[in-house]
Structure 1
């Protein structure tokens, strides 16, 4: 909303506004609608304007895309926000959030284009209260904005509220009903509904509560109460106000939250539709420039807004699909999500290919037409989301590359279908499912397109066999996920337990010892740590004691263990209890939630609050992580130095045995470029440069020239890590030396020489525009270097093979450790693999 600077908030008379509801020219451009909303809450009601988060969720594996305004605020609602971060101080907040609903639970993809309202990308206007105002103020602000500032006639609005649910033991939300009556909503326009319509839940467990929704009647001058919540296109929901006052427990019971919150959401596209007097979102100024641009590059008639049978040849559907999908593609790619083969990337690939097919098959556009629409998207949305301007060229390149690859795959797939048809006598008219599935799995050839091509020739796929292959593929993926030994689920405290810790006055964990190591005669010395058990969590609630064999989370007054964050693996080790030195409590996971470090252990013996414990850090593992983390920073710097400043970090992971680094780049690196990067890294290693770190106020740290950051919520103050140049010189701009300088909470070497050597063993494009480097250091790097020296050129395939060889021993040890752990937990349980496990774990 930075580009919007209205002199005053809008307060139209009902007479002036009535003209737009009769379908005249738009009075309010979309930019002013968005700006009026944000200014209303920011200027008149003291809300903090928080920028939209990227559509890639921050640390939330339950989502493919950000699909609601509340996603970025989940840490507050769950009580896990870092108490040192700005987010922890939020009380009243407003924003316009970029959202994508395609894939997963919220999936509008196949509906897009068929009607006039569904979208894969949309903007969610919202306001939030975290322990501040609640139902009355939220309702009064919403009504004031709609009826006074936007001038929507009150007699067009209907309000729903929660009617209660006897089976769940939930009473009707009479408080909200009375608030609306006091505001002036007539009883006949105030409608009760049940759990499905008016009770919002974050998931199977977690914060939840009743909601009240405001609905708009497009027709007016009638009683439309019976059309509310019936999916009528004439009466639509425009604003949902959620009152989070309960927590859904794992056993499905409901408990009151210690802090009530308000979460509201209103789709910008639908609101603009109403305020501009339209019946279709595609007739508003959020879409009309795109539809005009599509017509300019197509060979079909202009857009006319038809649907269903009236839309002959699905021309208008094609217009809507392409207009919607190019917005989604532009936003996602600008935020670092590229078309690919799994997760959100796979969904984006389907969106791109769906758009390309409608361009080519219906709109008859030339190749490259889809990407030519990117500047129009930037023109419409770029002022409020500036990354669309900044990344426009890269977005265009990636769309063009993926389109060319898809069209090539279509040609290849078509040839294979024809060759298969010509090589077999299809008197029974059945096409082999294995060929159809191979086309889809290996080339991304759409199965519905296979059906269409075969239908033209009077042939059809063996549907029963194809369904079996699809089911089998899903089973293989599930089995692969189960066998992934790195996806252990940590014991995480729920919002009520975190609030109980605060109520009891349990202090946040002091984990400063994780940084207090030193170099003595070339060896790292790590501090001893003696701690007190302050709290125990059994997976459902806080307890005072756990018994032997019980899995639990342990909170101590202090710790020297590093909790998993910032892409670095958690520390390993164990602790012993005073008076019971022979019994080892192995630390399996270390996580951070709401300022508390939670050590996940399976208790070898009883453990209770107040017990004194001695922590024993796996120093070899920690030092290996420190080596890899510092090497990752240097690699990031080297890539930018060799390839240019356009390189952006897109992800990383630091483990004891290797480092992984994902970054934006147009194509795979050449052997020469990889060698330059390695030389740059190893020059810094050989120089044994000092690694400086200092804790600074976040705002001051951000002022440093050349600072590298990623999309994270940083604490304030924040830790800054610089290689070779003291932080004081960077702050005072006393040096022109280019160096690695990043905000980072990880543990690092004190001097770079301990890395010894770095070798890139694998580099390949994960998706178009995103490359992944895997590198090793120290002795592993030396072994790879010896092999490299025996060949003139190491190809990408050879590097991948070397990577497998280097990691095979680590993978075996990891698997052996996991099996041994499982065997111990089941106490040699009677199952078919017990004997094999015993043999392997000896």
Structure 2
């Protein structure tokens, strides 16, 4: 069965069961969701619905959601792990329970997809004293009622089958469906079960996540009034099972991309599985992440993107694929997904620029850094590299700690991760002290002209988001009485038309003489109100939120003008590159 048909049948199945389809959302979570850097499941955007904070569009929902899971980056290279993947999801919000959810999943797998029912196993929560919860007898009974025999229902502990959405938030016991590829594919142990990582079993669906509790910061569980079900199926894994392979990279989803990698490298997949799997997954992940305006950086989403691209570069070089080859692979991914995700085509130049720039930056230091690492391993007594040396590789050569760990492990070395973290903390403290000597919020002083430039700085950000897209964020600013200097994430030179449009929008807002108001509130309330914030980690319990009505709402120390009409004529005088993936605008008020 082709992967296109797998998704189509999923949609048809849940539509026939009176579920409403939801749209796929961006990979970057909204500001109020700090539980993860990326959307990592189909239900993550729906947490407010499960918590009863928002009214759902229907009590039964389904969709296909693109996801990124950063914890799996080091595992990519085997037959099943992916950094970037698609989750097929269906949800009950105060509607049906585990019995119906299990039946819906079983019927689709066995009756619609034609999967061998004798190959299906289920895991059930066995209870946990620390959580104060007993065995999930309702779930156990549901699987037996459907027809899965007792010997294929495995009782698992909380680490395996108790779902949490983050450090805090909704949680509850879950149940997974696993496909058994047979004892010959596994470890051969009698104790082998679905939680064994030997390769015999593959988790394909999590059809019964019971969103029954809320976990607070202290780890205490409280029962939710609204009981719901979250079900997530791994699209790529289901396709693999239906196509008779436990290697997702040999499915129709990945096969064309793998063939392109084989062509560019003049090597075959059979003898280069790990490298080709990593390049295939990472080029998809980096294309989609860069497509949403993320640029390589030293923290947050930008750090993940940098790490993915640099790992991809390392393995592409092993295969003999150069910069132009990577560019062709990025184009291949865009062409493959442009109908379903047209923004990839619209942002294709930006995507190519971001990935190409990072390739160049890393390429300059890869040889030197690799040579230094080899020297460190030769001169190190024992098999553990010092944290200070690992940090030096990161700070000087741009080697993410995880990459150094991976390279070192290939030679039998470990790294002192605690020592690395100590060096990183020292560096961060020095940077903070240095920043304290600079302009507060980028302002040289609180003179009348500097205050005007501060206000128009907010307006310029909003204008750029209108012209280039909502993922544009401020990367820094410097304001004096003579000019504004504004840095923002963008992977290519702005066109004259884009600059003119941005300038015109700001001048239109100035002429409208819009009032500027300020309100003090908590950071949480500011985020709920939709306020943007660049340096929120510097703020205390209360923050100032400046609103330019209908234009901008930002957490800011101020000060600002009272009305936009006093600003004068805004003019962009220069736009250039500031650093990889970051552009700089210089503008004046006349």
TM bucket by the smaller chain?
0.7 to 0.9
**Structure 1 residues 762 and 417: alpha-carbon distance in aligned structure 2, compared to 1, 3 A threshold:** farther
Q: In the aligned structure 2, how far is the partner of 1:453 from the partner of 1:201?
A: 32
Query: Which of 12, 30, 36 is the matching residue for 1:58?
Result: 30
Match of 2:138 in 1: 175
SS, match of residue 108 in structure 1: helix
SS, match of residue 207 in structure 1: strand
SS, match of residue 294 in structure 2: coil
Shift of 1:713: 11
In the alignment, does 2:88 pair up with 1:132? no
SS, match of residue 473 in structure 2: strand
Q: In the aligned structure 1, how far is the partner of 2:554 from the partner of 2:386?
A: 54
Partner deviation per Cα, 1:85-113 (whole Å, 9 max, x = no partner):
xx6444222111111122xxxx1112211
Query: Which of 42, 48, 58 is the matching residue for 2:20?
Result: 48
Shift of 1:243: 0.7
Match of 2:119 in 1: 156
Contact 1:204 1:250 survives alignment (8 Å): yes
Contact 1:160 1:214 survives alignment (8 Å): yes
SS, match of residue 252 in structure 2: coil
Shift of 1:290: 1.0
Match of 1:326 in 2: 283
Q: Give ranges in structure 1 of 5+ residues lacking alignment.
A: 1-27, 82-86, 305-310, 487-568, 570-619, 693-711, 716-739, 776-780, 786-842
Match of 1:108 in 2: 72
Shift of 1:407: 1.3
Partner deviation per Cα, 1:132-164 (whole Å, 9 max, x = no partner):
222222112111111111111211112222222
Match of 1:650 in 2: 472
Q: In the aligned structure 2, how far is the partner of 1:116 from the partner of 1:678?
A: 47
Q: Structure 1-normalised TM-score?
A: 0.54
Match of 2:2 in 1: 29
Q: In the aligned structure 2, how far is the partner of 1:393 from the partner of 1:674?
A: 15
Query: What aligned pairs does 1:186-585 form with structure 2 within 5 A after superposition?
Result: 186-219=149-182, 226-240=192-206, 241-299=208-266, 301-304=267-270, 315-360=272-317, 362-411=318-367, 413=369, 437-445=391-399, 470-476=420-426
After alignment, is 362-371 or 87-96 more displaced?
87-96
Shift of 1:293: 0.5
SS, match of residue 383 in structure 1: coil
SS, match of residue 34 in structure 1: helix
Q: In the aligned structure 1, how far is the partner of 2:221 from the partner of 2:406?
A: 51
Contact 1:663 1:771 survives alignment (8 Å): yes
After alignment, is 317-326 or 386-395 more displaced?
386-395
SS, match of residue 136 in structure 1: helix
Q: In the aligned structure 1, how far is the partner of 2:196 from the partner of 2:405?
A: 35
Query: What aligned pairs does 1:740-751 form with structure 2 within 5 A after superposition?
Result: none
Shift of 1:259: 0.4
Contact 1:661 1:773 survives alignment (8 Å): yes
**Structure 1 residues 159 and 271: alpha-carbon distance in aligned structure 2, compared to 1, 3 A threshold:** same
Q: In the aligned structure 2, how far is the partner of 1:408 from the partner of 1:653?
A: 24
Q: In the aligned structure 2, how far is the partner of 1:452 from the partner of 1:210?
A: 34
Q: In the aligned structure 2, how far is the partner of 1:388 from the partner of 1:410?
A: 29
Q: In the aligned structure 2, how far is the partner of 1:761 from the partner of 1:741?
A: 27
SS, match of residue 176 in structure 2: strand
Shift of 1:377: 1.6
Q: In the aligned structure 2, how far is the partner of 1:72 from the partner of 1:124?
A: 13
Partner deviation per Cα, 1:36-89 (whole Å, 9 max, x = no partner):
112211x212222112222212222331222111211122234444xxxxx644
**Structure 1 residues 651 and 226: alpha-carbon distance in aligned structure 2, compared to 1, 3 A threshold:** same
Q: Give ranges in structure 2 of 5+ residues lacking alignment.
A: 516-526, 531-547
Between the two proteins, the alignment pairs up a number of residues equal to 537
Partner deviation per Cα, 1:611-649 (whole Å, 9 max, x = no partner):
xxxxxxxxx9xxx99996776446644798xxxx55665
State the superposition RMSD in angstroms.
5.1
Match of 2:537 in 1: none
In the alignment, does 2:501 pair up with 1:689? no
Q: In the aligned structure 1, how far is the partner of 2:380 from the partner of 2:126?
A: 61
Contact 2:291 2:348 survives alignment (8 Å): yes
The structure with more helix, counted as a fraction of residues: 2
SS, match of residue 344 in structure 1: helix
Shift of 1:258: 0.8
Q: In the aligned structure 2, how far is the partner of 1:31 from the partner of 1:354?
A: 30
In the alignment, does 2:64 pair up with 1:96? yes
- Higher relative contact order (Cα pairs below 8 Å, separated by 6+ residues): 2
Q: In the aligned structure 2, how far is the partner of 1:267 from the partner of 1:662?
A: 39
Contact 2:210 2:228 survives alignment (8 Å): yes
SS, match of residue 324 in structure 2: coil
In the alignment, does 2:587 pair up with 1:771? no
